[in-house]
Amino acid sequence: MKKRAIAILCTIVLAGGLLAGCGQPKETQKPAQTDRETTGSETKDEVVVTMPTTSEPQSGFDPAYGWGAGEHVHEPLIQSTLTVTTQDLEIDKDLAADYSVSEDGLTWTVKIRDDVKFTDGEPLTAQDVAFTYNNCKEKSSVNDFTMLDEAVAVDDTTVEFHMTEPYSIWPYTMAVVGIVPEHAYDENYGQNPIGSGRYIMKQWDKGQQVIFEANPDYYGEEPKIKKVTVLFMEEDAALAAAMAGEVDVAHTAASYSDQAINGYDLFRVDTVDNRGFNLPTVEPQEKDGITYGNAFTSDVNVRRAINIGIDRGEMIENVLNGYGTAAYSVCDKMPWYNEEYEVAYDPEEAKRILDEAGWKEGEDGIREKDGVRAEFTLMFASDDSVRQALAEDTANQLKEIGIEVTTEGVGWDVAYDRAQSEPLMWGWGAHTPMELYNIYHTLSDSGIGLAEYSPYGNETVNRYMDEALKASSLEESYDLWKKAQWDGTTGITQQGDIPWIWLCNVDHLYFVRDGLQIAEQKIHPHGHGWSLVNNVDQWTWE
Amino acid sequence: MKILNRRQRVILGIIFSIIFLAAVCIFGSLGTEAARVTDFSRKNLAPCAEYIFGTDWLGRDMLVRTLKGLSISIFIGIAAAAFSAAVALVLGIASATMGKTVDAVISFIIDLIMGVPHILLLILISVALGKGLKGVVIGVALTHWASLARLIRAEVIQLRESPYIQIAAKLGKSKWYIARKHMIPHLLPQFLVGLVLLFPHAILHESSVTFLGFGLSTEQPAIGIVLSESMKYLVTGKWWLALFPGILLVATVMVFYVLGESMRKLLDPGSAHE
């Protein structure tokens, strides 16, 4: 009996040890804090900010490998850019003193300032600019530079971009590509970046933290915050760090938003970090082992019914604890957003559309038409609890109008291929209209010649976007981007083809230490990381 | 305690274990639908009369989820342990009876598998097979046979030298006859006990590999998923998400252990006649 008791005890301890052991890696090491405590009551000019582990740039701080100009766009801090996006996401100048585009849209001429130096003392010239862009074109795998033919330095302060095709939104690209020094660039640049930006990267402990210090020779306004420490950790660790008072800004998620932490306030930022799912618009067909299209969602009436059959307000309340805004497009609140996109929740109308289209309710409450059941699988990235909750809520809501949705967690290794035939919960949102192009424009040389991520194609929509890229000014292009969404007769909105359903923009939430004034934020794009520190140089302590 | 003798107590233990496991399996399979139902009107509820295990952030009933998760685990455990034991039996006997070369090869494979930490091999196999139920079952099955195979091999080698087998051989009985009539009946007790004791291993490994994100997919109510999801919410004080599923997992593992030990007592010649 005693032996057995010991054995049972051992089992418990082992099982406990197993689980505890598994839990360990989630904890992040205590940040290496040295001089923060000693600053005491003097005016502080340092901040410690947490970011998700996915924000750590794997290939270093090199724009050619996605720093700033990657999947998640943001200002590169270490380097400076030719242009910048303003508060309302139009374009302003930074390194560029002036820029213009030729009549045919094929040559952009940019005059740059002549008073800018890299932090190693060398002046920043047009050669560096040309080198940066040619290098990005050659190496970048995360950002598209195919419209650029070649960048040429005409003299020390003038650079010309020769394009392969007109690209009116080029200034948005210029706003995220940090200029690197040609003389100090090699394959290790990402590890020890040199730039002309507001901050210098002082130290990078991979998997833990990056420390930035203010650039004393910065050509613009002097940064008010002299030292920025960025710690990479998961949300639960960030919350724990805030509870322990170790960080000044901790990123967090809606599910933690009800936590009250002494000495911290919740800070929310409006975003265009949207979530939505694709609905393949063609009948199923196979090519190269991948199925394209979905029999149920290929009916436009089904897509319209789904779009108005979802109560976005309730979803935001349920899933995001109210920290979000309804999304109707991939570009809500951007200068190129077309208000026609907006729809009201109307389940009765949704049911009427389905009835009229011949989708009749069966015995189990699920609709059917010609032997096709009104059902689909909605996939979500299996490590993302917000997307999972959105998928589950979508399933619950669509059941009300007679559509059966099964949810499934998948890895990104299979998600892209499967999304060609089944809806997937995506996250998008960027400070460039190019996102519309990426999602809705057809690509003739990929898959079955339809849009890249989900089968869809509309000649008129394509034409407007092509024209928008050829437009002679940004203002003109905004108008064409809007027309691509809805021109009065066709488009990608409710009255149009509605190939994607957008649900909500997820607010970016942070716990901020009392006394820290975070400067006014631009609408954040997708990615809960670097956008916050775009203007860290203007933050202040009270 | 003196009312029942030792044998009766052991039998009682077995009956209790089987009832417990059957209950978990039956309620688990009845709750297949219920375990996936999400209802945001009842999210994050602490344990109460209606939801005695509480609910999670999607409003799922943790009791149903836990039972379903455990029944999935038990199913995986049975499938994997049975497969594992079959492999062990075949290889163990082959190793002991088919000559030096075969023995050397099989022993080498056993050493190889035992030399690599189970969990690593398990993750490798599971990921290579595309995760999911199939990956986990095959992964657990392929990693757990080695120790049992070694046990059987040693047992057979010892048996081979025992007088009654030697005599049977001298009498001209075929190898197959000896294996069938003399060896397998002798090996059966050890084999069955080994088989049952593989379950807890298989279950724990299934839940840990799923916990680490290399096993079943997140919309499934597997126990590893339940526990790893709860990790995110422990910091906010939602203790019930981890406590009850954890306790039930430990209980299930223990029950299997009791079952195995009891069987050993009943079948082992040393204690079978008490």
Window 280-319 of A: residues touching B by CB (8 A cutoff) are 318-319
Provide the pLDDT for residue B269.
Answer: 67
Give chain A's mean pLDDT.
88
Q: Is B46 on the interface with A (CB under 8 A)?
A: no
Structure tokens at A364: 């189990």
Residue found under tokens 């309710």: A361
Task: Say yes or no: A4 contacts chain B, CB-CB below 8 A.
Answer: yes
> How is residue A95 written in tokens?
């390194």
Indicate the residue among A163, A190, A217 that finishes a domain: A190
Residue of A nearest to B249 (CA): A15
pLDDT at B59 over 80: yes
Q: Tell me how far the alpha carbon of residue A47 is from its chain's centroid.
A: 24
- Picking from B212, B235, B261, the nearest residue to A4 by CB comes out as B261
Q: Do A392 and B235 touch (CB under 8 A)?
A: no
Q: Strand, helix or coil at A325?
A: strand
Instruction: Kindly indicate the confidence band of residue B264, based on its pLDDT and cuts at 50, 70 and 90.
Output: confident
pLDDT at position A426 over 60: yes
A11 pLDDT tier (thresholds 50, 70, 90): low
Find, among A483, A470, A468, the residue nearest to A337 by Cα: A483
* Alpha carbon separation from B53 to A39, A436, B31, B45 (Å, rounded): 48, 46, 15, 9
| pLDDT-above-90 percentage for chain B | 5
Of A26-30, A227-231, B126-130, which one has max mean pLDDT? A227-231
Same domain, A174 and A81: yes
* Residue A255 located in a structural domain: no
Which positions in chain B touch A422 (Cβ < 8 Å)? none
Task: Return the HEC string of chain B.
Answer: CCCCCHHHHHHHHHHHHHHHHHHHHHHHHHCCCHHHCCCHHHCCCCCCCCCCCCECCCCCEHHHHHHHHHHHHHHHHHHHHHHHHHHHHHHHHHHHHCCHHHHHHHHHHHHHHHHCCHHHHHHHHHHHCCCHHHHHHHHHHHHHHHHHHHHHHHHHHHHHCCHHHHHHHHCCCCHHHHHHHHHHHHHHHHHHHHHHHHHHHHHHHHHHHHHCCCCCCCCCCCHHHHHHHHHHHHCCCCCHHHHHHHHHHHHHHHHHHHHHHHHHHHHCCCCCCC
Residues A216 and A241: beta-carbon distance below 8 Å: no
Residues of chain A contacting residue B248, judged by C-beta atoms under 8 Å apart: none
How many structural domains compose chain A?
A: 2
Instruction: Judge whether residue A40 has pLDDT over 50.
Output: no
Count Cβ neighbours within 10 Å for each residue of A485-517 and write b for 16 or more, e otherwise.
Answer: bbbeebbbbbebbbbbbbbbbbbbbbbbbeebe
- Per residue in A475-503, pLDDT (tens digit) is 889 999 999 999 989 999 999 999 999 99
Range with the lowest mean pLDDT among A109-113, B80-84, B242-246? B80-84
> How far apart, in whole angstroms, are the C-alpha atoms of residue A164 and residue A146?
8
Q: Which of A22, A53, A406 to mutate to test the interface with B (most CBs of B within 10 A)?
A: A22
Mean local confidence (pLDDT), B206-229: 85
Q: CA A73 to CA A272: how far, in whole Å?
A: 12
Q: Does A400 touch chain B (CB under 8 A)?
A: no
Do both A186 and A284 map to the same domain? Answer: no
For residue A17 the two structure tokens come to 């040890």
* pTM as predicted: 0.82
Compute the distance between CA of residue B122 and CA of residue B145 in angstroms, rounded to an integer. 13
Query: pLDDT class for B261, splitting at 50, 70, 90?
Result: confident
| Residue partners of B241: CB distance under 8 A and separation at least 6 | B54, B56, B62, B226, B229, B230, B233, B234
Which pLDDT score is estimated for A2? 54
Residues 6 or more apart whose CB falls under 8 angstroms from that of B169 comprise: B178
Q: Is residue A424 part of a domain?
A: yes
Top-confidence range, A135-144, A370-379, B82-91, B127-136:
A370-379
Comparing alpha-carbon positions, the chain A residue that sits nearest to B209 is: A22
A379 forms bridges with which residues in the sheet? A408, A424
pLDDT computed for residue A25 by the predictor: 42
CATH number at residue A82: 3.40.190.10
What ipTM was predicted for this assembly?
0.77
Is residue B33 less than 8 Å (CB to CB) from chain A?
Answer: no
What does the pLDDT read at residue B272? Answer: 66
What is the pLDDT confidence band of residue A326, given thresholds at 50, 70 and 90?
very high
**A45 lies in some domain:** no
Looking at the complex, does the CB of residue A389 fall below 8 Å from at least one CB of chain B? Answer: yes
Q: Percentage of chain B surpassing pLDDT 70? A: 97
- Work out the minimum CA distance from A236 to partner chain B, whole angstroms: 6
CA atoms within 13 A on the CB side of B56: 31
Q: How many CB pairs under 8 A join A and B?
A: 81
Nearest 5°: the CA angle A406, A408, A414 is 130
Q: Is residue A10 part of a domain?
A: no
Find the CATH number of the domain harbouring A278. Answer: 3.10.105.10
Q: What six digits make up the tokens of A8?
A: 């049972």
Residue of B nearest to A235 (CA): B232
B211, B233, B236 ranked by CB distance to A22: nearest: B211
Which residues on A lie below 8 Å from B235 (Cβ)? 236, 239-240, 243, 256
pLDDT at A161 over 80: yes
- Check if the beta carbon of residue A110 is closer than 8 Å to that of residue A214: no
Q: Within a domain: residue A200?
A: no
In a domain, A148, yes or no: yes
Pair (A392, A282) in one structural domain: yes
Mutate to test the interface with A, among B6, B218, B223 (most CBs of A within 10 A): B218
Taking the domain B6-33+59-271, which CATH number applies? 1.10.3720.10
CA B189 – CA B193 distance, rounded (Å): 6
* Stretch A306-320: mean pLDDT: 93
Q: Is the pLDDT of residue B132 over 90?
A: no
On whether the CB atoms of residues A252 and A51 are closer than 8 A, the answer is: no
Question: Is residue B1 predicted with pLDDT exceeding 60?
Answer: no
> Cβ separation of A385 and B232 shorter than 8 Å?
yes
A278 versus B34: the higher-pLDDT residue is A278
A341 domain-assigned: yes
Establish if A14 belongs to a structural domain: no
Angstrom distance (rounded) from CA A61 to CA A78 = 8
Choosing from A169, A190, A211, the residue where a domain stops is A190
Range A187-192 average pLDDT: 89
Query: Which candidate from B208, B218, B229 shows the least CB-CB separation from A22?
Result: B208
| Among the listed residues A70, A98, A71, the one whose alpha carbon sits nearest the alpha carbon of residue A82 | A98
The predicted model gives B25-52 an average pLDDT of 85
pLDDT of residue B236: 82
How high is the mean pLDDT of chain B? 85
Confidence of residue A181 (pLDDT cuts 50, 70, 90): very high
Higher pLDDT, A230 or B100: A230
pLDDT band at A3; cut points 50, 70, 90: low
**Which pairing describes strands A83-85 and A367-369: parallel, antiparallel, or unpaired?**
unpaired
Q: What CA–CA distance (Å, rounded) separates B11 from B3?
A: 14
Q: Are residues A176 and A299 in the same domain?
A: no
With 80 as the cut, is the pLDDT of residue A215 above it? yes
Q: What average pLDDT score do residues A432-451 get? A: 87
Q: Which one of A490, A505, A520 terminates a domain?
A: A505
Kindly report the number of other CB atoms within 10 A of residue A533's CB atom: 22
Q: Is A424 on the interface with B (CB under 8 A)?
A: no
The confidence score (pLDDT) of residue A537 equals 92
* Domain housing A340: 274-505
Top pLDDT among A12 and B16 is at B16
Residues 6+ apart with CB under 8 A from B248: B24, B66, B67, B70
A354 in the same domain as A481? yes
* pLDDT > 60? residue A24: no
Q: pLDDT tens digit string along B188-215?
A: 888 888 888 888 888 888 888 888 888 8
Residue in A313, A282, A377, A358 with CA at minimum distance from that of residue A505:
A313
